[in-house]
């Protein structure tokens, strides 16, 4: 049985989610902003047509926003995650095996489907059902390897005549498409690599595909060698069996307003540690290592720049917010410098173990450990059931959090909060 994989990718995902609940914005150019309303992370078809670039800082395009009457939304991840889950649930029923790759895309196992026609029809029917059941439009790229499926998907998005589904199992078609694509459009080739490749005279995807894998390995890396092999139809990325446990958990934010006092920084870290610890417990893991980082703004050359990181280990693995927080605050003391205007901070948890299997404290009483676990369970349940929010006092009340992130134009929680359910009048 020939291996075959389909990549299903939602079009303009965040922008499309916002439009689902705002039919009045159907043909209006719409952009979605990053956390803190900093830069553009998603654009509707119309906004792309106006030349709005991905990642551009919003303040640089204020004039265009006004002139074209663009709709602007702060990012609403709760909404996008919910719509994503609906799309993924539908896809699951179409194939024996699937891997969710990101919030808006998934790889599906299409092995066993014999003909070009069969595969394309299947893709079209999936696409139809997703649009009908969720309102989201997807494109489908089908090929023998993931790297080629990515490329097929790109073609499905770019060329209207394809009807949103491209089958790239035929070698001649693969080569024709690759000859048209600049090398930086290959999955796994970013800015740095494409510059180096171009310096060696490799401009197109096809030219990269025709390089000797061993030479690429020697000049670049194992990763790029795999890419070359994948472009030639040799699959180098295996299917994951079951969900992959995380190796690290990060919580970091830019501040809505610069932080200048130690107390405010401690409060912010407190929020980040609490959030990271919640995620850790959701993964059913305990962590041993915690890293804290802080930095000033990176873009203003006039302003003194300072950035630093401190990392430390807990004596035993833990998922208790209080233990992690104590370490975080101690680490902060090592890197905190007065007199800077801090723009961003974050914490990272790593070195995970399943509860009870990590380093243990021989002298701590079992009862104390059990109390810790039960306390954290209780906190999580209060939050998950929406009964309110219990937090560590140090983070301060919302009114005190002048550094909290800006979300000026957040859409309602249409799918996750009763009060925000859309009404039809």
Which residue ranges make up the site for DNA (CB under 7 A)?
34-36, 38-39, 41, 55, 57, 59, 101-105, 150, 186-194, 221-223, 244, 246-254, 258, 279, 297, 299-300, 311, 343-344, 346, 405
Residue (22 or 406) nearer to DNA, CB: 406
Q: Closest approach of Cβ 367 to DNA, in Å?
A: 32
Indicate the SS3 state at residue 192. helix
Burial group, residue 275, by CB count within 10 angstroms (0-12, 13-18, 19+)? middle
Q: Closest approach of Cβ 283 to DNA, in Å?
A: 9
Given a contact cutoff of 8 angstroms between Cβ atoms, the answer to whether 228 and 217 are in contact is no
Q: Please give the backbone phi and psi of residue 158, each rounded to the nearest 5 degrees, phi first.
A: -80, -40
302, 298, 290: which is closest to 258 by C-alpha?
298
- How far, in Å, CA of 254 to CA of 407, rounded? 12
Q: Closest approach of Cβ 161 to DNA, in Å?
A: 23
Q: Closest approach of Cβ 361 to DNA, in Å?
A: 21
Q: Closest approach of Cβ 119 to DNA, in Å?
A: 21
Residue (113 or 251) nearer to DNA, CB: 251
Please give the helix or strand (H or E) that residue 296 lies within, else none: strand 286-296
Q: Closest approach of Cβ 156 to DNA, in Å?
A: 14
Q: Closest approach of Cβ 224 to DNA, in Å?
A: 8
Sign of torsion, CA 84 89 92 93?
Answer: negative
Residue (291 or 369) nearer to DNA, CB: 291
Residue (57 or 315) nearer to DNA, CB: 57
Residues in contact with 341: Cβ distance below 8 Å, sequence separation at least 6, in sequence order = 258, 259, 260, 296, 297, 303
Residue (109 or 283) nearer to DNA, CB: 283
Q: Closest approach of Cβ 82 to DNA, in Å?
A: 17
Q: Closest approach of Cβ 65 to DNA, in Å?
A: 12
Residue (343 or 379) nearer to DNA, CB: 343
Residue (73 or 113) nearer to DNA, CB: 73
Residue (3 or 38) nearer to DNA, CB: 38
- Residue entry with tokens 């790239």: 168
- How far, in Å, CA of 141 to CA of 119, rounded? 10
Q: Reduced to 3 DSSP states, what percent helix, strand and coil does the chain have, rounded to the nearest 5?
A: 45, 20, 35
Q: Please give the backbone phi and psi of residue 61, each rounded to the nearest 5 degrees, phi first.
A: -120, 20
Q: Please give the backbone phi and psi of residue 101, each rounded to the nearest 5 degrees, phi first.
A: -95, -35
Q: How far apart are the first and last CA of the chain?
A: 54
- How far, in Å, CA of 325 to CA of 378, rounded? 18
Q: Which two tokens stand for residue 288?
A: 């041993």
Burial group, residue 411, by CB count within 10 angstroms (0-12, 13-18, 19+)? middle
Residue (188 or 355) nearer to DNA, CB: 188
């Amino acid at each position: 049985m020939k291996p075959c994989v389909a990549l299903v990718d939602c079009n303009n995902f965040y922008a499309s989610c916002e439009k689902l609940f705002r039919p009045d914005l159907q043909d209006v150019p719409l952009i979605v902003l990053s956390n803190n309303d900093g830069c553009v992370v998603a654009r509707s078809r119309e906004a792309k047509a106006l030349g709005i670039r991905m990642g551009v800082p919003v303040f640089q395009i204020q004039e265009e926003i006004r002139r074209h009457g663009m709709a602007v939304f702060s990012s609403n991840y709760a909404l996008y995650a919910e719509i994503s889950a609906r799309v993924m649930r539908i896809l699951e029923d179409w194939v024996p095996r699937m891997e969710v790759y990101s919030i808006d895309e998934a790889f599906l196992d299409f092995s066993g489907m014999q003909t070009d026609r069969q595969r394309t029809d299947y893709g079209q029917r999936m696409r139809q059902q997703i649009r009908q059941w969720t309102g989201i439009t997807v494109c489908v790229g089908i090929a023998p390897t993931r790297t080629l499926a990515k490329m097929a998907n790109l073609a499905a998005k770019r060329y209207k005549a394809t009807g949103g589904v491209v089958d790239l199992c035929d070698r001649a078609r693969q080569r024709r498409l690759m000859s048209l694509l600049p090398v930086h459009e290959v999955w796994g080739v970013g800015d740095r690599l494409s510059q180096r490749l171009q310096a060696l005279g490799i401009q197109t995807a096809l030219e990269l595909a025709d390089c000797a894998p061993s030479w690429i390995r020697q000049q670049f890396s194992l990763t790029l060698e795999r890419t070359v092999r994948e472009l030639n139809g040799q699959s180098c990325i295996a299917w994951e069996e079951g969900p992959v446990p995380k190796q690290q958990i990060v919580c970091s934010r830019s501040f809505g307003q610069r932080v200048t006092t130690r107390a405010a920084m401690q409060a912010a870290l407190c929020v980040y540690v609490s959030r990271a610890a919640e995620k850790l417990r959701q993964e059913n893991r305990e962590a041993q290592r915690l890293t804290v980082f802080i930095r000033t703004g990176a873009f203003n050359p006039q302003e003194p720049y300072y950035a630093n990181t401190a990392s430390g280990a807990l004596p035993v693995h833990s998922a208790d917010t209080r233990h992690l927080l104590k370490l975080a605050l101690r680490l902060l003391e090592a890197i905190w410098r007065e007199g800077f205007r801090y723009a961003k901070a974050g914490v990272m948890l790593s070195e995970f173990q399943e509860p009870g299997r990590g380093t243990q404290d021989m002298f701590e009483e079992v009862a104390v450990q059990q109390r810790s676990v039960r306390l954290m369970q209780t906190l999580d349940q209060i939050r998950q059931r929406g009964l309110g929010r219990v937090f560590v006092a140090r983070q301060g009340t919302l009114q005190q959090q002048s550094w909290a992130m800006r979300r000026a134009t957040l859409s309602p929680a249409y799918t996750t909060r009763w009060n925000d359910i859309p009404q039809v009048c």
